[in-house]
Chains A and B, each alone.
Chain A
Amino acid sequence: MIADAVTVLLIGAGLFFFVAGTVGFVRFPDVHSRLHALTKADNLGLGLVVLGAALQAPDAATVLKLVLVWLLTLAAAATVAQLLARSALEDGAP
């Protein structure tokens, strides 16, 4: 019961950060601030969702897989954000 409640809380908080990141993506004026909103808020949001889902996992292997998913997404998001930011800078975006 307590685990379920914590899961709902964590995933709810995660979804909040996803929404915040998306609002930033839609509302912010230029590439760099949009990237800032997306990568930071979504990575934290996904981390919270993973944490919430891990509480429901039947065994340690599932928790490991969930953490791997999160780490891979973090690495990919960081790399892609850097590449996008640089190419936007080279194209003369503010």
Chain B
Amino acid sequence: MIASAAFDILLCLLIVTVAVGSVAARDLFGAVALYIVYGLLLAIGWVRLGAVDVGLAEGAIGAGLTGVLLLGAAARLKAAPDPPRLRIVPLLLCLAVSLGLGAAVLSLSVPQPGLVPLVQENLAASGVGNPVTAVLLNFRGWDTLVESVVLVVALVGVWALAPDDLWDGRPGAAQRVKRDAVLNTFGRLLPPVGLMVGIYIVWIGAYAPGGAFQAGTVLAAVWLLAIMAGVAEPPPVRRPLWRALLVLGPAVFLLAGLHGTLWGAFMSFAPAKAKTMIMAIEFTLTLSIAVTLAMLVLGRPRRPA
């Protein structure tokens, strides 16, 4: 008990220290590098909290993809002189916010069953065995449907920032890496393994931690790596096939939801069909999420260098 609490306290101290380091870092690259470390440590924290699904999402999206995106940004944005200075008034205000939140945590630390009994009661009717997947795709399917649309809308927003003459062109690679033998080999070696891991994660998500978002991130990462290694080309954003892939998952999700209106209400699945419906949504959603996330990292169309 004591050893486990000591580990948690040590981990939290480390997380907070790295966050402070990221805010206080002198150069942009250092700030982003520390942010990635911060995300990975947080993922361990989530596992400690028994939220393995969240840990996977934090490690893959919060640390991994956000890290790649911001490392690219750190290279493209000018570094302006911005020395870290201690400012007393903001510091005191932020301290007050932290203390207030901390007081709230202390006052809320009483056992609460929450929604666990409700989820457990209805898990059998949800079609899957992993309670988090049941919430994401069945009980609160609405949230996830809208979320998958938010991703596509954000991508349209990113594309819209391209200058007029580049609109619907080819997005530049997020990083310009020299195409040498080692990276090229790695870029050829990894995709088959990554594909297998991605499919495994979406499949296992029905019973155990995993699911469409985590698997989609793995597939997106593999594709991005292949692009950076010079094995694959980023697709031009006008290609209809790629646009169809972007909306396939949300469209299948929406159709499944509409099918629910025949049976009961929008976004409700008959228990007998729930498993089939959820797996159809999960696999198509994984594909769409993978393409959307990778294209968000690649960014808007750029002038060829």
Contact = CB atoms under 8 A, between A and B. Distances in A.
Contacts of B182: 78-79, 82-83
B244 to A, nearest CB: 32
A58 to B, nearest CB: 13
A84 B114 CA distance: 49
A88 to B, nearest CB: 13
Nearest to A82: B182
A72 B186 CA distance: 10
B190 A83 contact: no
Nearest to B180: A86
A75 B189 contact: yes
B255 interface: no
B89 interface: no
A79 B193 contact: no
A72 B196 CA distance: 13
Given A82-B182, A83-B182, A75 B190 contact: yes
Contacts of A78: 182
Contacts of A86: 178, 180
Nearest to B184: A79
B177 interface: yes
B183 interface: yes
A83 to B, nearest CB: 6
Interface in A51-79: 68, 72, 75-76, 78-79
A13 B257 CA distance: 54
Interface string B171-186: 0000001101011011
A86 B183 CA distance: 12
Instruction: Find the residue from B182, B185, B197 having the highest chain A CB count within 10 A.
Output: B182
B186 A75 contact: yes
Nearest to A71: B193
Contacts of B186: 75-76, 79
Contacts of B183: 79, 83
Interface of B: 177-178, 180, 182-183, 185-186, 189-190, 193, 197
Interface of A: 68, 72, 75-76, 78-79, 82-83, 86
Given A68-B193, A83-B177, 7 more contacts: A68-B197, A75-B189, A76-B186, A78-B182, A79-B182, A79-B185, A83-B182
